């Protein structure tokens, strides 16, 4: 059976950034394959387009330039918040919990939860990066189709 709109696709892959042999940032081998419904905007459009017509057992290599993946990192997505917004129930700021590189869930004014990464801790504020973690990266997938149903 070939991949087409509405089919459930199971894939194993390794995702590299910068080059086909660059840093591995995600891998499904050794775990359950990734499963998605083709044509329902669950995956990057270029990723899906490259899989169209493939069948179980087929291997693939897909290169997705930054502009077609998550775009460039945007300065506007770095936001500064006063430390006072992060005071715990004891009235203290937890330096261990809020360290550079830590992921913090935040709530938008309309109630949605978004993930940010602490980019910088200043004397009285915290800078949080809300860019996608792969923004600014060219993506290189290599994998195989496990099942199409």
- On whether residue 1 sits in a domain, the answer given is no
Number of domains making up the chain: 2
How far is residue 85's CA from residue 92's CA, in Å, rounded to a whole number?
Answer: 11
Answering whether pTM is above 0.85, one says no
How far is residue 130's CA from residue 16's CA, in Å, rounded to a whole number?
Answer: 22
How far is residue 49's CA from residue 24's CA, in Å, rounded to a whole number?
Answer: 22
- On whether residue 95 sits in a domain, the answer given is yes
Indicate which CATH number applies to the domain containing 107. Answer: 2.40.10.330
Bridge partners (DSSP) of residue 61 are 142
Structural domain including 106 reads 75-129
Question: For the chain (length 149 residues), average pLDDT per consecutive 10?
Answer: 97 96 95 96 95 97 96 95 84 78 88 92 93 94 98
Number of C-alpha atoms within 13 angstroms, CB side, residue 13? 23
H helix or E strand, kind and range, residue 45: helix 45-51
Under a CB-based contact definition with an 8 Å cutoff, are residues 3 and 55 in contact? yes
Three-class secondary structure assignment of 55-72? ECCCEEEEEECHHHCCCC
For the stretch 98-107, contacts whose Cβ atoms lie closer than 8 Å and that sit 24 or more positions apart, written own/partner, are 98/126, 104/128, 106/130
Q: What is the DSSP letter of 1?
A: -
- On whether residue 3 sits in a domain, the answer given is no
> 7 to each of 14, 100, 112, how far by Cα in Å?
22, 41, 30
Cβ neighbours around 15 below 10 Å, total: 21
Indicate which CATH number applies to the domain containing 27. Answer: 3.10.50.40
Q: What is the pLDDT of residue 75?
A: 94
């Amino acid at each position: 059976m070939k991949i087409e709109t509405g089919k459930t696709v199971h894939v194993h892959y390794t995702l590299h950034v910068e080059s086909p042999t660059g840093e591995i940032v995600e891998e499904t081998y050794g775990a359950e394959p990734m499963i998605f419904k083709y044509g329902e905007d669950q995956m990057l459009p270029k990723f899906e387009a490259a899989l169209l017509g493939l069948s179980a057992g087929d291997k693939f290599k897909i290169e997705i330039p930054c502009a077609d993946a998550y775009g460039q990192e945007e300065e506007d997505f770095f936001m500064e918040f006063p430390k006072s917004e992060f005071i715990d129930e004891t009235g203290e700021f937890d330096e261990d919990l809020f360290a550079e590189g830590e992921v913090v869930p935040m709530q938008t004014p309309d109630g949605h939860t978004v993930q940010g990464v602490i980019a910088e801790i200043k004397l009285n504020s915290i800078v949080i990066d809300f860019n996608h973690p792969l923004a600014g990266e060219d993506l290189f997938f290599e994998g195989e189709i496990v099942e199409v149903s």
